[in-house]
Amino acid sequence: MPKVTVANLDAIAAAARQRHQGWKAMLMVCAGTGCVSARSLPIRDALREEIGRRGLEREIKVVATGCNGFCAHGPICVVQPDGVFYERLKAEAVPELIESHFVRGRPLEEFLFRAGDGERPVPLEKDIEFFAKQQCIALRNRGKIDPEDIEDAIRAGAYQALKKVLAEGIEGDELVRRIVRSGLRGRGGGGFPTGIKWQSCLAAARQRGVRPYVVCNGDEGDPGAFMDRSLVEADPHAVIEGMLIGARALGASEGFVYIRLEYPLALQRLRKAIAQAREWGLLGADVMGTGMAFDLTIHQGAGAFVCGESTALMASMEGRAGEPRAKYVHTVEHGYRDRPTVLNNVETWANVPQIVRNGPEWFAAIGTGDVSQSPWNGSSGTKVFSLVGSVRNSGLVEVPMGITLREIVFDIGGGIPDGRTFKAVQTGGPSGGCLPDSKLDLPVDFDTLVDSGSMMGSGGMIVMDDRTCMVDVARYFVDFLCEESCGKCAPCREGLVNLREVLTRITRGEGREGDLELLEDLGAALTDGSLCGLGQTAANPVLSTLRYFRDEYEAHIRERRCPAGVCKALIRYSITEDCTGCTSCVKVCPTEAITGERKKLHVIDQTKCIQCGTCMDVCNDDAVVVR
């Protein structure tokens, strides 16, 4: 393989583009974790086989891509260059698909997207509501390249930004200033300006005369967020290139990627991408033939939410338990191995090459506020969200900062399915909060979300409908944080346990007057007294639900009632007259609490019922109700 240099990158890209244009069509089969689990790999194989059988293998290429983002509709295949979007494909339908699409010249309607049953099919990906309002910077190559082929990434523009900084001699302060001017803020959740972080690190490294490290945070511990996994699976070279540019700015020669073991596919693709980048001369002792030395090492996380925190992550990378320390001294000064260290999130790194390539002003023009004086004055660029939960079109979306929650949930997400009503949207993971209907028209940016009691977080956006109990959600997050608290400082360790106790009591119907005030007091103590970000934000899910859904807490305490029908001690399942007597629920009931003959109304014996909800899950007629 060729060694990529500053001089030959364009020629390599042009040659790859020319070969690419030789194909009459490309079948981009999604091979992200979601589609693979929906059996997209047998579909890829079936497509190859069918194309071979028809002797079309010189005209049509089948490419396994990274995550397309529209995971709930998998397995997905997009035909390029025309952009026809096929969803929920089946391997056995492949011959018919090839026949219809390529021989008869008509997309196979059965597998086209429809907004609902009986709606007209939407053949083109760009016309589907889910994709129409998106603007992709970090995910620009998703579904467009083969993530396991560096040449394909180069064809699509990878390493052009690196070439630019190397060829034009942009480095150090000048390169850092460009990142500051872009207004880029940390995509991992904190929203700290990336350029300012780099400035502090560069200053510390110079002062101490040591080489700093660059680190990529791919721990992605927030439940309900999967943008980092998806990004690494779809375009690992964007992360590598971002880190190379960071290394160039800071004078680092070693970088590390910390990534969760729970993401085997992302780990595998990243390993392969790093190996290929080394072979092609983009990592190693002589990057692009310029004498720059930089290489990457992967560290695998082993399951600890707190390891997303910088000092905990670095402790884990040093081969210790991932416990945070007080940050009197920041990691940009004394981080990994006590050296100045820049830690940025996967998505942040993936934005860096685009900023360098298109200029900081281009990036700053997208989003909210005016960041020309300071990156703190706005939120520029785009943000990737995982739009999931009770929403019709769930998946990964990248939108410009400043878009409203309503546009995301109702325009892109298509609203709430199954005739339910919107109740809340949860952002920011366990550090964030739940926002109600009245906040839907807020623009999504770092500062607005914090002002309303939630936060951007890493980008989880979980939509909840009227069947979600907000007290249960608060208890769920506190449970999670109890497990994940490292226990080092008392406010977090004891505060969370006490919050859990009170919340559990309320969900069991044993709540008392004064409990809500107690929750608020405990929350304030946690926020003020905890050592690291985990504890300081741990009360947010409780405080935000108390702020916006207080009546629901009160119903639990005063009326011993769970309005959403979730808290077991407060609910009863029953069967309505809509029951058609299919006996499905009779068969699955684990306690034989349901009696009824075929075609006759079934009845639940309340003395035997354990409120497991299986009958409701299995019922096809919505005849099982919960009160």
Partner 1 sequence: MRTVIPIQVVQVDAIIDRWQANPEFAVEMLQDVQGRFRHLPKDALARIAERCGTDLGRLYHIATFFKAFSLEPKGEHPIQVCTGTACHVKGSARTLEAFGRELGIAPGQTTPDLKWSLDGVRCLGCCGLAPVVTIGPDLLGGVDSSKAGKLMRRYRKRFAAQASPEASGDGDGAEGDGDA
Interface positions with partner 1 (CB under 8 A) = 33-34, 36-39, 41-42, 70-72, 74, 88, 220-226, 229-230, 261-263, 299-305, 316-323, 386, 388-390, 394-396, 426, 429, 460, 462, 464, 468, 473, 476-477, 480, 486, 584, 588, 590, 612-614, 617-618
To the nearest whole angstrom, how small is the minimum distance from the Cβ of residue 618 to partner 1?
4
To the nearest whole angstrom, how small is the minimum distance from the Cβ of residue 37 to partner 1?
4
Please write down the long-range contacts of 370-379, taking CB distance under 8 Å and 24 or more positions apart. 371/181, 371/182, 371/183, 372/181, 374/193, 375/180, 375/182, 375/183, 375/184, 375/185, 375/193, 375/194, 375/195, 375/196, 376/193, 377/183, 378/183, 378/445, 379/183, 379/185, 379/191, 379/445, 379/446, 379/447
To the nearest whole angstrom, how small is the minimum distance from the Cβ of residue 515 to partner 1?
22
Nearer to partner 1, 11 or 302 (CB): 302
Nearer to partner 1, 231 or 273 (CB): 231
Nearer to partner 1, 282 or 312 (CB): 312
To the nearest whole angstrom, how small is the minimum distance from the Cβ of residue 591 to partner 1?
9
Nearer to partner 1, 380 or 394 (CB): 394
To the nearest whole angstrom, how small is the minimum distance from the Cβ of residue 91 to partner 1?
11
Contact 299, 257 (CB under 8 A): yes
Nearer to partner 1, 44 or 556 (CB): 44
Full DSSP string of 146-205: -TT-HHHHHHTTTTHHHHHHHHTT--HHHHHHHHHHHT-B-TTTT--BHHHHHHHHHHHH
- 3-state DSSP call for residue 332? coil
Nearer to partner 1, 356 or 506 (CB): 506
DSSP-derived secondary structure letter, 583? -
Question: Exposed, middle or buried, 328 (CB in 10 Å: 0-12/13-18/19+)?
Answer: exposed
User: How far is the C-alpha of 55 from the C-alpha of 52, rounded, in Å?
Assistant: 5
To the nearest whole angstrom, how small is the minimum distance from the Cβ of residue 252 to partner 1?
17
To the nearest whole angstrom, how small is the minimum distance from the Cβ of residue 356 to partner 1?
29
Q: What is the 3-state secondary structure (H, E, C) of 134-160?
A: CCCCCCCCCCCCCCCCHHHHHHCCCCH
Nearer to partner 1, 194 or 458 (CB): 458
To the nearest whole angstrom, how small is the minimum distance from the Cβ of residue 606 to partner 1?
18
Nearer to partner 1, 444 or 464 (CB): 464
User: How far is the C-alpha of 301 from the C-alpha of 28, rounded, in Å?
Assistant: 31
Torsion sign (Cα): 400, 403, 409, 413:
negative
